Amino acid sequence: METYIKGRELILVGGVEKDKAGGLLMAHPLIFEPAEADANPALGRVVAIYPEVEGVAGAKLQRIMQELVERAAPHLPDFLLGVLPPELYPQPAGQALLAAHQPGPQAQGDDLDPNAGPWLRSLAVNELMYFELGLALKRRQREAAPGRPLAPPGDLLRRYLDALAFRLTPGQQAACAAIRADLGQSHPMGRLLCGDVGTGKTVVAVAAACMAAEAGVQTAFMAPTEVLAQQHHASLSRDLEPLGVRVALAMGSMNGAAKRQVRQAAAQEADLVVGTHALLGEALRFKDLGLVIIDEQQRFGVHQRLKLAAKAGGAGLPHLLVLTATPIPRTLALALAGHLEISDLPQRPHGQPRVTTTVVPYDQRRQAVEAVAQALAKGHRVYVICPLVEASEAIEAQDVVQTHGRLASYFPQVRVGLLHGRMDAVAQQAALNDFKSGATPLLVATTVVEVGVDVPEATLMVVLAAERFGLSQLHQLRGRVGRGTEPGACLLVAGPSPSDLASERLKVLASTQDGLAVAEADLHLRGPGEALGARQSGLPPFKVARWTRDAALVPPLREIIAGWLASDPQMAEPRLKAVRDETIRRWGRRLGLVEAG
């Protein structure tokens, strides 16, 4: 180890942090002699630090990135420069990219702040503008497309609503009225129905299906899982077939005879076909598809919706109603679904949920077992939710198979059910039916029960390794209990060593039953990609823009876009045409603005 003499001048390069005493600490710095300064380009300037890439040394990665940026930045086309005001778009994209990766020697303050630099605003606006323009073009495309006006008398809808055991909430009434008005237009409806757990989205969707059936057209109702599709089919058959509405079920796991039967029903007599991705199959054809309903829309991509809509044949595009049970802050909902009208369901038909949520530390998990025993003694149903199907060497968490075995041994007097996504559809439905009937009052399951499962007798849910679930997902799960006359309880049992962030998220869930507050917290703590499930929801893959940080940029961008389309609907002026063409290049296939190749 080299000994340094006091007073000797050295140049140290590295990250500076505060130590516990409040002083400055530079761990493992690079050390240079002053004479080396001129020969080393890294000295005397700010150097970008990139995430580690396996097999590539940090210094080599810096050199590669420096060369890439220097080659690309000067030639980066920027069609927004000159068409956006400078206060909104302060730097051209190439200059902003260069400033982000290679800040000059005079850079300081905001120039180096990854959340406030002027380069950041330009790059974020660049991404947001093209996405928002893509949504605007998508909306205009839908409004210009031919659709079939549906104006049923309303007798079927009235009979359906009269048979309900509750009155519609003001939000449900407003949504039904908006849907009826949309269906009567000469272009296809495009509406997003947002509501928290238990706000009655399915009732509104069925009301829309009744309007379509009375108008003489068919409805396709697509659900994300076979469990949910079967539940929808059972409840809709029970409620609608006495009214003369014929309901069919389409699932990929059906045998050949059942598939042929549903194909015949869709092509001939069915008014409503409920199903999973099986609805997209080439062999399934509709006689006269007029309405498409997508449940849990964030789990389906744009292309899947377009493929289902294309089954309407030559009668024009069908009307579209998409539902989401994941509470989304309205600003984010508008940003993500700007091409759709939005209906909110703020109230619950049965009033506020009565579910008490408690976080149980790992060393006190015995409380959960005692709570299960007490609930079973009262004749109630109990869910136990696990993050894994089977044990994993890579992940230390409970799995349903082993947990099911342990609980079956601990409660020998009780039949314990098992439900997970790897079971076939028949076994899944049988497990759910046994739970509903009380034959298996204790059900060990994965998140396959997250949405749609309705068992009023279920009063307790125990979630094991709760920190491994997202906040919005946990909120959906706890919505499965307390749906009957008895209040519900949800016990979030933490793992042995949850992180500080995980513990904070669980505290949020225990502090509120408001799904919107939960979603806001999830977005703040984890960001939209994790909170909403980017892979499932189709969140735009932005590199720089962040919804939680940059949402305020969206309204002025929309005003500018509205002005462009008002003055030049075809965006034919050369500068606007270049912006439109770049939008199509980036978003055309993902948003369905062009045919997928």
pLDDT value for 107: 65
Res. 533 pLDDT band, cuts 50 70 90: very low
How confident is the model over 266-294, as a mean pLDDT?
A: 91
Domains present along the chain, CATH in parentheses:
1-45 (no CATH), 108-146+554-597 (no CATH), 152-345 (3.40.50.300), 355-537 (3.40.50.300)
- Residue with more model confidence, 67 or 181: 181
With beta carbons less than 8 A apart as the criterion, state whether 384 and 478 touch.
no
With beta carbons less than 8 A apart as the criterion, state whether 488 and 353 touch.
yes
- For every residue of 160-191, DSSP letters joined together read HHHTSSSPPPHHHHHHHHHHHHHHTSSS--EE
pLDDT value for 341: 84
Query: Which residues are CB-neighbours of 21 under 8 A, at least 6 positions away?
Result: none
Residue 98 has pLDDT above 60, yes or no: yes
Among candidate residues 197, 194, 205, 192, the one with its CA nearest the CA of residue 450: 197
CA distances from 488 to 256, 353, 366, 415, 456 (A): 42, 8, 19, 21, 10
- What distance in Å separates the CA atoms of residue 121 and residue 113, rounded to the nearest whole number? 11
- What distance in Å separates the CA atoms of residue 237 and residue 160, rounded to the nearest whole number? 12
Residue 129 has pLDDT above 70, yes or no: yes
Q: Is 220 left (phi over 0), alpha (psi -120 to 50) or beta?
A: beta
Res. 394 pLDDT band, cuts 50 70 90: very low
* 19 φ/ψ angles, rounded to the nearest 5 degrees: -90, 180
Residue 532 has pLDDT above 50, yes or no: no
- Look-up of token digits 């630090």: 49
Residues forming a β-bridge with 360: 493
> pLDDT by residue (tens digit) across 174-220?
999 999 999 999 889 989 888 877 788 999 999 999 999 999 999 99
Among candidate residues 145, 168, 235, 223, the one with its CA nearest the CA of residue 455: 235
Res. 89 pLDDT band, cuts 50 70 90: very high
Residues forming a β-bridge with 419: 445
- What distance in Å separates the CA atoms of residue 223 and residue 274, rounded to the nearest whole number? 8
- Residue with more model confidence, 589 or 112: 589
> pLDDT by residue (tens digit) across 31-41?
888 777 666 66
Residue 530 has pLDDT above 60, yes or no: no
- Residue with more model confidence, 181 or 393: 181
- For every residue of 461-516, DSSP letters joined together read EEEETGGGS-HHHHHHHHTTSS-SSS-EEEEEE--SS--HHHHHHHHHHHH---HH
- Three-state SS letters, 232-276: HHHHHHHHHHHHCCCEEEECCCCCHHHHHHHHHHHHCCCCEEEEC
> pLDDT by residue (tens digit) across 119-128?
889 999 999 9
Res. 114 pLDDT band, cuts 50 70 90: low
Give the β-pairing of 11-13 and 30-32: antiparallel
Residue 45 has pLDDT above 80, yes or no: no
Res. 48 pLDDT band, cuts 50 70 90: confident
- What distance in Å separates the CA atoms of residue 345 and residue 175, rounded to the nearest whole number? 8
pLDDT value for 418: 92
User: Tokens for 583?
Assistant: 């939008």
Tell me how far apart the 2 most distant CA atoms of the chain are, in Å: 95
pLDDT value for 578: 96
- Residue with more model confidence, 360 or 535: 360
Task: Please state whether the predicted TM-score (pTM) of the whole model is above 0.85.
Answer: no
Among candidate residues 493, 494, 489, the one with its CA nearest the CA of residue 460: 489
- Three-state secondary structure call for residue 114: coil
- Residue with more model confidence, 33 or 43: 33
pLDDT value for 221: 95
- Residue with more model confidence, 464 or 142: 464
Question: Within its chain, how far is the Cα of 393 from the centroid?
Answer: 29
- Three-state secondary structure call for residue 530: helix
Res. 360 pLDDT band, cuts 50 70 90: very high
Q: Angle at the Cα of 508 (from 519 to 355), degrees rounded to 5? A: 90
How confident is the model over 224-251, as a mean pLDDT?
A: 91
- What distance in Å separates the CA atoms of residue 254 and residue 285, rounded to the nearest whole number? 17
With beta carbons less than 8 A apart as the criterion, state whether 163 and 584 touch.
no
pLDDT value for 118: 82
pLDDT value for 412: 92
Res. 66 pLDDT band, cuts 50 70 90: confident
> pLDDT by residue (tens digit) across 415-466?
999 998 888 878 888 898 899 999 999 999 988 887 667 788 999 999 999 8
How confident is the model over 153-179, as a mean pLDDT?
A: 93
- For every residue of 553-596, DSSP letters joined together read GHHHHHHHHHHHHHH-TT--SHHHHHHHHHHHHHHTTTTTSS--
How confident is the model over 19-44, as a mean pLDDT?
A: 75
Mean pLDDT of the residues in the chain: 83
* 361 φ/ψ angles, rounded to the nearest 5 degrees: -60, 155
